[in-house]
Amino acid sequence: MIHTAKHDSDITVIRPGVDRLTAVNAKAFKDEVTALINDGASQLIVDFQDVTFLDSSGLGALVGVLKKIGHRGDLAVAGLTTDVAQMFKICRMDRVFTTYANVDAALQKMAENQ
Amino acid sequence: MTSKSFHMQNDLGDVDRMVVSLKTAVEGVLDDATMFKFEICASEALSNIVKHAASADKSDPILVQLSETKSSLNIAIFDPAGATPFDLRDHARDLDTVDPLAESGRGMGLIMQCADAVTYGSQDGRIGLILTFTKSGDF
């Protein structure tokens, strides 16, 4: 389901690989990202540029990933489409996640912070 | 009044197909902002009914109806036969009160926040959730 690319500074970019991250596939998304974390990935960017819709289950899965990383690393989200950004805002998740306009901006900032 | 009926399998795997079909059916009726809220509500309500409404026969499809008045679009999602009545208005949590790190518990609050009106009761002899959205055009 997910597609990953490892960049310099051990930052992993994750694309969910679906255009709708919902109750149908949220658990699979969380399980696959959790497996990456268990394998040592700790600097993660989730790229939402191809995701057109996100429901509360998708958001919940993302929160689960954030909790899994905890203080061991960092999780940012990038490329939020208009509707997905609105969903973050309605659910007050814009206060929880660090968001960037695109992956390049997220990569630059996370690399600077290391 | 124009009315359209849809049937969804009582399976999470059929929710996205149903939501996309519903969106297509109301294209041009709702403005972009309201369409977004409609999509959220439809997705959350349909997922909720599949996950939580016990039914006598899981092979029975879930009936969804769209209808319009001059000023509003209504979506009715009927409980499957044998399901225990569940009025989400009694259980929805204000999104401001949900723990930011909770992994669940936002769906019903989203419906309450995004729909212009939420009712639960009998229509055409069946029990269901009826969500109303102010419309901006015609079918």
Per-residue pLDDT for B56 more than 90? no
Q: For residue B72, what are the domain limits?
A: 3-134
Is the Cβ pair B13, A87 closer than 8 Å?
no
Rounded CA-CA distance A41/B61 in Å is 42
Distance from CA of A87 to the nearest CA of B (A): 9
- CA dihedral A75→A76→A79→A83, nearest 10 degrees, is 90
pLDDT, one tens digit for every residue, chain A (114 residues): 899 998 877 899 999 999 999 999 999 999 999 999 999 999 999 999 999 999 999 999 999 999 999 998 999 999 999 999 999 999 999 999 999 999 999 999 998 887
Q: A20, A54, A55, A83: which to substitute to probe chain B, counting the most B Cβ within 10 Å? A: A55
Question: Distance, in angstroms, between B3 CA and closest chain A CA?
Answer: 26
From chain B, pick out residues whose CB is under 8 angstroms from the CB of A64. Answer: 103
Within a domain: A61: yes
Domain that holds residue A50: 3-102
Residue B76 within a domain: yes
ipTM: 0.91
pLDDT single digits (tens) B68-121 = 999 999 999 999 888 888 899 999 999 999 999 999 999 999 999 999 999 999
**Is B139 contained in some domain?**
no
In a domain, A72, yes or no: yes
Helices of type H across chain B: 15-25, 32-52, 107-114
Number of domains in chain A: 1
Q: Write the pLDDT tens digit of every residue in B22-55.
A: 999 999 899 999 999 999 999 999 999 998 877 7
Amino acid letter, B25: A
Which residue of B lies nearest to A18 if distances are taken between CA atoms?
B16
Has residue A109 been placed in a domain? no
